[in-house]
Structure 1
């Protein structure tokens, strides 16, 4: 703020909101650490308050002219019920182009590094983090709306995070809710690539949020994700999501057994199980693949936002689904690529079941370890100049009347 004053002089600027920007496999996380209004109550109550009273700030930080349609954010919440009880070190609310997520893996990976590196004024509990000398890593607990996540952050000898090694987190209990579910598609939900078909077959699973997983060929794209038209994929996934949401008979696919706030379809994950990294797979010390297999996915979430990363919550959901199908055993590692990591060979996430949980429900509940890397991209201070009504809230150009994306 002082730096801007030095440049422009005595200009009437509102209260600044300070952020650090990071990316995880190209997917942004704008971490809001100062200047956001105070929220009260449980973390879910804070989420509801943010939506009701301060959603204009979400739009200001996520949308144009300060952000873009695919921007993602994380609002630090140092006061939550789990932090107060000593069961978490920090809370967070996740934001996107349409509201507030219940879970976000790529942002968790970025936050792990940031919290280890942050000074005491930002993260007072940072000096109390548990250090594991055997693996030269810090352990911290992050309270997200879907529950607590255990995060492990590799450290350098100077105590700062080590960007050369992956951050990992252990998911909330994850489980499949529907395997090979037929989704009826009435004419209003058709897309051209579907042809004369009246339904598609998809899987549903939970990894902190609910995901619908469908093979790209099943969606009507015979070449899978190898050669794709993003606009056509966007339309098909949007129609599929609308069809699922409109069908009350499919509500079991997105029904959380405990918390109603989690009971909605967050994302369509289009999968291509045959697509491997173009630049080769990672190897272990013996020159062998360090995983049992790999696949690629394209994630549309929120209001058709495209994830550049492999999507950490979806990795937990996909691992839980594979375990449910008997395709992945406890301890087996699987690599999940986004389009970006598949094309570049950089940034794939790995997922593995670390524990099967006892459950009285039909679904097998598991905890999943997800690993990935994140990096800093800059710092950002958001201000609003007096009389600047256009950027007070933010906008999306393609949503203006008469405009199409």
Structure 2
């Protein structure tokens, strides 16, 4: 008989290729009144579980986890965990959560065509498109307010050259970089080189913005390479670390890019922006409403996409396992 020290029930899905692992049980009771407070309590007391549940040998560098928690202000509450940082908001993860709720029967056509979700970044509205057979065909997520933080930042990057970027908030901070201006092809066969170049650019941008009050206390902006084939259509490749990229077009990143296009007047209200990943799978974005955030003009962007369940499993931790804390190879 195997001597188990712990077990966790999870459901895995992917949203346009990027994983979401919803952790349904095994998480200790968390203190706090809001989702953000409960997330912070998890980080302070149980961060070891993040690595154990997401990293190898039970996960991998690109795994994203979602922890459902109670909410006093929304239908559901959840926070997001990843290999390196805690995410205030995650678009692909929200879409994956909706798919998982449908898979488990917690939402269905009989419960309605929308729900609200409290995240550490705020409450988001999630609309549901059900097909005639009662299956979830698509998810439409209204993101938190997105806005432009810094425009026309120029940085010299060793081995890459001089880059120009605009940094935009879409729930997390993103440095938008035109891939074609650097001669980069956004294709699967170039993923390793793109991650390397993007991580070097990310480090240079982090140094360049150090001390700017706008970014204090936030993770460094991730690099969103884009290659536009039309004003309303582009391929995205989001570099998170030297060994991690977002397989999806990135929901919050797409919100940032859409907001930037609106800010520049390249797109107008009412137009739809199509953001594809390197496998050709799109997210669709549109302006839901204009607003103000952090003293700036801001946009509420709706992202439309879908997720697919890949497994329902129990993750075991056997007593005496020398790799129970998880590991990452960079």
- Which TM-score applies when normalising by structure 2? 0.91
Matching of residue 353 in structure 1 with residue 321 in structure 2: no
Question: 2: CA distance between counterparts of 1:147 and 1:359?
Answer: 12
Question: 2: CA distance between counterparts of 1:68 and 1:359?
Answer: 35
Matching of residue 65 in structure 1 with residue 37 in structure 2: no
Q: State the partner residue of 2:45.
A: 53
Equivalent in 250, 257, 265 of residue 318 of structure 1: 257
Paired residue secondary structure (1:15): strand
Question: 2: CA distance between counterparts of 1:43 and 1:301?
Answer: 24
Equivalent in 242, 246, 261 of residue 207 of structure 2: 246
Deviation at 1:350, TM superposition (A): 0.4
Deviation per residue, 1:117-153 (Å, 9 max, x gap): 434xxx5xx599862xxxxxx2101111111110011
Question: 1: CA distance between counterparts of 2:56 and 2:36?
Answer: 27
Deviation at 1:302, TM superposition (A): 5.4
Of stretches 56-65 and 307-316 in structure 1, the one that deviates more from structure 2 is 56-65
Q: State the partner residue of 2:5.
A: 14
With over 3 angstroms needed to count, the CA separation of the structure-2 counterparts of 1:129 and 1:59, relative to structure 1, is farther
Of stretches 54-63 and 352-361 in structure 1, the one that deviates more from structure 2 is 352-361
Deviation at 1:228, TM superposition (A): 5.9
| 8 A contact 1:112–1:152 mirrored in 2 | no
Tell me, which stretches of 5 or more residues in structure 1 are unaligned? Answer: 1-9, 132-137, 277-291, 400-405
Tell me, which stretches of 5 or more residues in structure 2 are unaligned? Answer: none
Aligned residues: 329
Question: 2: CA distance between counterparts of 1:52 and 1:385?
Answer: 25
Q: How does 1:80-119 map to 2 (within 5 A)?
A: 83-84=71-72, 87-119=73-105
Q: How does 1:145-160 map to 2 (within 5 A)?
A: 145-156=120-131, 160=134
Question: 1: CA distance between counterparts of 2:185 and 2:305?
Answer: 25
Q: CA RMSD in A?
A: 2.4
Paired residue secondary structure (2:48): helix
Deviation at 1:296, TM superposition (A): 0.3
Q: State the partner residue of 2:158.
A: 190
- Which TM-score applies when normalising by structure 1? 0.75
Bigger Rg, which one: 1
Q: State the partner residue of 2:226.
A: 271
| 8 A contact 2:145–2:293 mirrored in 1 | no
| 8 A contact 1:59–1:97 mirrored in 2 | yes
Q: State the partner residue of 1:382.
A: 315
Higher strand fraction (1 or 2): 2
Deviation per residue, 1:318-351 (Å, 9 max, x gap): 11111100111112101001112x2xxxx30000
Paired residue secondary structure (1:67): coil
Matching of residue 181 in structure 1 with residue 153 in structure 2: yes
| 8 A contact 1:97–1:303 mirrored in 2 | no
